[in-house]
Structure 1
Amino acid sequence: MTVRTTLKTKRRLPTRNTSNSDSDSEPLPPSDRRALAEAFGTKKARKRLQDQTENAISPSKSIRPNQPLDPLASAVLSTMPTSNPSRAKTAEEAASSKSIPKPNLSASSPSEAYPISTLVGNTDNLSNIRIQSLLDSVAASASVQINSHFLGPLLVKAAQARDIRACRLLKYTLLLIELYKIIITPPPGRPAKPHAPKRLPRLDTNVMKPLLEAYTGPLVDATAIRFTENAAGCGGNVTKWHLDLLVTHILALSLHVATPPFVVDTWLLQKDLVMDAPTIGTMFKELGCEVKAMGKSEMEGRKLSRAEGGLRRLVKLKVPLTFPGVKIGGGRRGMGR
């Protein structure tokens, strides 16, 4: 019996010829040289190999200057993005969905981040605010009733200095706080229900009479339109989104009127808005503010105990704005919620 076999040849990598003559050696194929370099090459050799690969697949590196492109290459390159999406654009889209005033992302100073014109709306709103009785009362050293822990001392100080613009801005901020208190206060005889639908009373109701004595009806209603569902104004529904929008407008205005400007100790605002420190801190962060607990030196400067200092936050508005998770501009990432 005859057995016939066929041996399948297997190509072996040629071994290096150690003889003095190189006439019988064959050069390694490119694929074998690449395999050897990846397996046994030095770090520098592997880096060179990687650069060669990148150059081979990168259109910007493989095309020589002034070299014409074939139609297919031109079509492919025309569909490739030339740059990454702007981080500022990403942050602008994120901010637009929040219940906050529209920020000025190109602001170069804190005063430009949330302009007064944006917070107040129609510029006639400030000029229509009545302040003469306040000025007269302060000038006569008469008692002044101001329904705000935060704004009270600031209003008296501005009236004493006869700062008309500051008085009007402070009183407009007071109007927003008064509207907020009316919205969150349940009607007489009804228990408080935090998650129940909220409504702003009509102008002709008793609860709105004090506002009509301090402000004009058209001003109150025009202001209410911005913070009610479907721009209904007084008598309209107030969703959580609209209520948060009202609060963030109050906080943004508080930064403008604070002393020093754009630095706020939240304690008195917490009392006005019936909020704890973490809640109001979160709302300020939504505006892009820096929020931190008070340090020892800050407590000592305000003559606060450690327990008292722990109940409040110190807020600063800086540019570029830093929103939760997104920062406008370079540097470190923004704070998370």
Structure 2
Amino acid sequence: MSEPTKKRKRNADGSKKSSKKVAVETPGASEVTVTVVQNTDDWAPIVAATPGLAFDKSLSLKPYTKRRGNAPQRPGQSGSIATDELLIESSEHPAIDYVGREEEAGGTDSLLKHYIGVYDPATGGLQVIESRKMTVRGIVRAQNAAPEAFAEKGDYKNMRELRNDLGQTFGTKKSKKAIASLTENAISKPRTAAEHTEPVKHDAVTAAMLRNMAEVTSGMATTEELQTVVDESKPRPRANLDAESPKDVYTIDYLVGTETMKVIPVKEWQDAVKAKEQIITSSKFVSDRIQLASSSVQKLKVLRYLLAILEFYGATTPRRGVRALPKKDELRKAMPGIPEAVAGNIQRKFSDHGMMSKFQMDLLITNVCALALIVDNFEVDVYDLREDLKLEGKQMQTYFSEIGARIMAANEGEKKRLGLDKAAAMQHKFARLRLPLEFPKAKFARK
């Protein structure tokens, strides 16, 4: 049996709805002539936004202009908008300063242009001119508090007193007991001049306690005495603080030793210099100075001893904050041509039981700095030593500062002598030993 077909409903009025669209008569559109007006004046219209502000229209804004840093040579129709930057400001409001700025280059709408149009219905003409897009924001002006706000300053509690009140109210028995102990043992300080009251006189108990404290602390070390103890415990060669010349601050007899200087071999270097042969070592600092120091046997020996220290340091292996020495045979191979007495002197001075502690590593590097100052007449370019020891520039400068040297930039004569341009000169700092010595001061907590 077939399903019954669904019948359509008729319209209530019996009329049929036409499927044709009804043509709507529209009045003839009038023609509009658009004209772009070129901005030839110094001032252009402004389209300003005031986000989050209810700007008072009665306020007047003062304009300020300045030349743009990237102003085009041909501004085109934009005129002063493209060449000059505008800022508007108003301080007429009693509490708020208003400042309006254009969007900076690189912003989301920095390349978007804004226009203002004036339409004349009589002529059908629309004149359009480019305008500036600005954002006006308000800045709350700082206000000085009235004197009445500080009139009853003594009535306010400090943070400790507020915490004590909170602890007494909600704290545990243990915390309440601690607060009570602090209160009982507190010594009230005298009134300050700012409170405009007479100082509180100490009672007999307070005066006795203060006298007892003075007697106990009379034997404590002063800041100068503490500084002396710290200086003596630092990993650096001992300086002669009574020296009247830089050459007497760190002497060869102290850094190397008289007996050690006698057995340091330099004849091989002297023969090579006479034969005008190039001497290449594992240290750039030493290699560059052998020729210059060849006229002084003493400086050649200091250079040879300095090279032995650098070879000794380079043979060690870093291990968790310390450096481990290799086996004796390997260590002697790393220090070729050095007598056993000299090698043993270096090993005993800068290591202990086959290891170099952090203190001994710092002591070795500060000794190297002092020897380098002697070789270079107390003015050292720290760059070569930094490369030999594989240290950062700041670290190398710190080691020189620890022995009293002053770190300075290269002057024009040194730049010319070394052939350094401006960028390279930034890498070359000079350590100079001058009197009086300047050591880094240790920081002590205030009493």
Matches of 1:224 and 1:178, distance apart in 2: 11
2:243 equivalent in structure 1: 107
**Which residue is equivalent to 1:242?**
360
Are the counterparts in 1 of residues 315 and 334 from structure 2 also a CA contact under 8 Å?
no
Partners of 1:80 and 1:141 in 2: CA distance: 68
Aligned partner (choices 276, 286, 299) of residue 151 of structure 1 = 286
Seen in structure 2, the aligned counterparts of structure 1 residues 124 and 300 have a Cα distance that, compared at 3 Å, is: same
Relative to total residues, which structure has the larger helix share, 1 or 2? Answer: 1
The question of whether the paired residues in 2 share the 8 Å contact of 1:203 and 1:217 is answered with no
Classify 1:80/1:324 alpha carbon distance in 2 versus 1 (closer, same or farther; 3 Å): closer
CA distance in 1, matches of 2:216, 2:380: 49
Structure number with the bigger relative contact order (C-alpha 8 A, sep ≥ 6) is: 1
Matches of 1:196 and 1:85, distance apart in 2? 34
Aligned CA distance change for structure 1 residues 277 and 142 (closer, same or farther; 3 Å): same
Q: Pick from 162, 170, 176 the counterpart of residue 309 of structure 2.
A: 176
Instruction: Please state if 1:310 is matched with 2:443.
Output: no
Aligned residue in 1 for 2:323: 198
Separation in 1 of the partners of 2:325 and 2:267? 28
Q: Deviations over 1:52-72 (max 9, x none)?
A: xxxxxxxxxxxxxxxxxxxxx
Supply the distance in 2 between the matched residues of 1:86 and 1:222 (Cα, whole angstroms): 36
Contact 1:201 1:208 in 2 (8 A): no
Name the CA shift for 1:281/1:194 in 2 (closer, same or farther; >3 Å). Answer: farther
Change (3 A) 1:136 1:303: closer
User: Which whole-Å CA distance do the structure 2 matches of 1:271 and 1:80 have between them?
Assistant: 49
> RMSD over aligned Cα, in angstroms?
3.4
Q: Structure 2: give runs of 5+ residues left out of the alignment.
A: 1-194, 197-214
**Correspondence for 2:263 among 113, 122, 128:** 128
Residue of structure 1 in register with 2:299 after alignment? 166
Alignment CA distance shift 1:297-1:152 (3 Å): closer
Structure 2 partner of 1:227: 350
Give the residue type in structure 1 aligned to 2:271: D
Q: CA deviation at 1:302?
A: 3.3
Q: Which runs of 5+ in 1 are unaligned?
A: 1-38, 41-77, 187-192, 327-332
SS in structure 1 of the partner of residue 391 of structure 2: coil
Q: CA deviation at 1:93?
A: 1.9
C-alpha contact 1:131 1:167 (8 A) present in aligned 2: yes
Task: Tell me how far apart the structure 2 counterparts of residues 129 and 297 of structure 1 sit (CA, whole Å).
Answer: 35
Q: TM-score when scaled to structure 1?
A: 0.62
Identity %: 26
Whether contact under 8 Å (1:264, 1:315) holds in the other structure is yes
For 2:430 and 2:258, locate their aligned partners in 1 and report how far apart those are by CA, in whole Å: 30
Aligned position for 1:251: 369
Query: Residue 297 of structure 1: CA displacement?
Result: 6.3
Structure holding more strand per residue: 2
The answer (yes or no) to whether the contact 1:262–1:317 under 8 Å persists in 2 is yes
Indicate the SS of the match to 2:261.
helix
Number of positions where the alignment pairs a residue of Structure 1 with one of Structure 2: 241
Verify: 1:264 aligned to 2:380, yes or no: yes
Structure 1 residues 153-209: Cα deviation after superposition (integer angstroms, max 9, x where no partner): 3222323x2x221211111111111111112xx4xxxxxx6635422223322x522
**Equivalent pair of 1:107/1:320 in contact (CA under 8 Å):** no
Matched, 1:321 2:437: yes
Cα deviation per residue 1:228-283 (whole Å; 9 max; x = unaligned)?
A: 12xx4xxx11111111110110001000001xx11111111111111121110011
- Give the 3 Å change call, closer, same or farther, for CA 196–148 of structure 1 in structure 2: same
SS of equivalent residue, structure 1 residue 226: helix
Closer, same or farther: CA 286–196 of 1 in aligned 2, 3 Å: closer
Please give the per-residue CA displacement for 1:293-331, whole angstroms capped at 9, x wherever unaligned: 3456653553312221112311111122111126xxxxx
